[in-house]
Amino acid sequence: MLPASVKRIACSLTGILVGAVFMSGVGVSGVWAAGPLPEGLVLWLDATDLDGMGDPDGTLDSGALIARWTDKSGHDNHVEQQEPTRQPTLRQHQLGDGAVVSFGGDDVLTRDKFTGFSIRDQPLHILLIMQFRQDESHPTPRVLEFQPIDGDMSKPATVKQHGLWVGTNRDGKMRIETHYGDDGSALSVAWDNRPHVVEVIYEGAQRWIHYLDGARDGAGLLEDRDFHGFTKDLRLALGQHFGSEDAETFFKGDLTEVLVYDRVLSSEEQNAVKSYLSGKWSLDLSIEPVPTFERDVRPILAQHCHECHGSDLRESGVDLRTVTAMLGGGESGPVISRGHPEFSDLVEQIVQGSMPPDGADPLDENEIAVIRRWIEAGAPAAEEIAPVDTGPSISEEDRSFWSFQQLASHQPPKVASTDRIRTPIDAFVLAKLEPLGLTLAPEASRVTLLRRVFFDL
């Protein structure tokens, strides 16, 4: 029988989906979809098909060491481990008659060069159906890491803010973190040796989201020490930082399936992934209809908001009749942020009571919840969303600023006081001073120079 936490699963996926199934006590159905959605799939690891040949590996005994876990996505991102003492083990009959790959707290699988991502601010979406075991000897475990190909965790400059890892830091809450940078932490404990469905999402533009057992479990931005994007080829590690032997960061738990996409999945595609997981693992997943603007949201806004933000009146320049208009926004910018009600001015104004104004019919809790869910789903609509023209972000005047100009060689100008020139820079300074009847200050004495050094140091 499935735990209640698993029965509540609502697999809401938005970016790159990394799905890992780590469970016990869940039966495996004999029939399921042939595989996950193929478009954009760059990594697919399945514990029941370690060699990637398409047949369950039922002949392998529990306790067998795993030297290679074959990627079935077609990108050949196989993860391997040649050292037997670092190889995870296969455990049969954990998902009904299925298998899990068990990491014992000193195991790691790696890929020297991961293919499929772009050199940019790459979105990520991590889905973990998991049972993690955290103990005092592994207080800060890492489940999955993307690291620059020449990175070295003992040399922060080689990885700082250019890689991402997923795991926890002592509190048992899932988090996503850029190396030596900011992190985004979930609100609830997931590392409790019980089955959970966890989603860890990096959408790009520093935005992250967590889900626990289908419910939104925190969202925010990577801020001061934000993610600088992937700037070179990457390598992948499961169970630890690539190349690290730090006992504190080894992962202890079970993995069954890993899916990685290189794009944002639509709400309909998210439901398709849930159907795949539900059929394959006999999971009781809740697949809810995707809310749409025309059917679910516009009637609410028409009743409560169009009097001030419609065809006759548009206070603060805001028009709430179309999604295109809301994304274009008003005097203060867009009023919705797709996928993020917490960043959406529309939700903030409604919750604070600023919309609708005093005396008007306010939205009830169910109506506010519908708007939240719609924005979380990416604000889907039947209308063709027109591109929003926000104007040029960089003007021609901005482009002409000196620091944005390409480097070029210049001959030092001719000046009268050539005896004062020590470096070519002096000539450029004198060229500005001499037309004003000025020259360089006298050279400082040794005592003055020592005094300056003293104050500086």
Q: Name the residue among 149, 143, 148, 184 with its Cα closest to residue 165.
A: 143
For the whole prediction, is pTM greater than 0.85?
no
374 in Cβ contact with 293 (< 8 Å): yes
251 in Cβ contact with 7 (< 8 Å): no
Of residues 23 and 241, more confidently modeled: 241
Q: What is the CATH number of domain 4-281?
A: 2.60.120.200
336 in Cβ contact with 379 (< 8 Å): yes
Of residues 1 and 428, more confidently modeled: 428
- Locate 149 and state its tokens: 């190909």
The predicted pLDDT at position 8 comes to 37
Summarised one tens digit per residue, pLDDT across range 272-325 is: 887 787 777 777 777 778 899 999 999 999 999 999 999 889 999 999 999 999
β pairing state of 124-132 and 17-21? parallel
pLDDT at 99 over 90: no
Mean pLDDT, all residues of the chain? 85
The set of residues, in sequence order, having a beta carbon less than 8 Å from that of 438 and lying 6+ positions away, is none
DSSP bridge pairs for 184? 176
Residue type, 77: N
Summarised one tens digit per residue, pLDDT across range 118-176 is: 998 999 888 887 888 778 889 999 999 999 999 998 899 999 999 999 999 889 999 99
User: Once rounded to an integer, what is the mean pLDDT over residues 379-394?
Assistant: 76
pLDDT-based confidence at 371, cuts 50/70/90? very high
pLDDT-based confidence at 268, cuts 50/70/90? confident
Q: How far apart are CA 11 and CA 281, in angstroms?
A: 14
Where do the structural domains in the chain lie, given as residue ranges? 4-281, 293-376, 415-440
Q: How far apart are CA 59 and CA 110, in angstroms?
A: 25
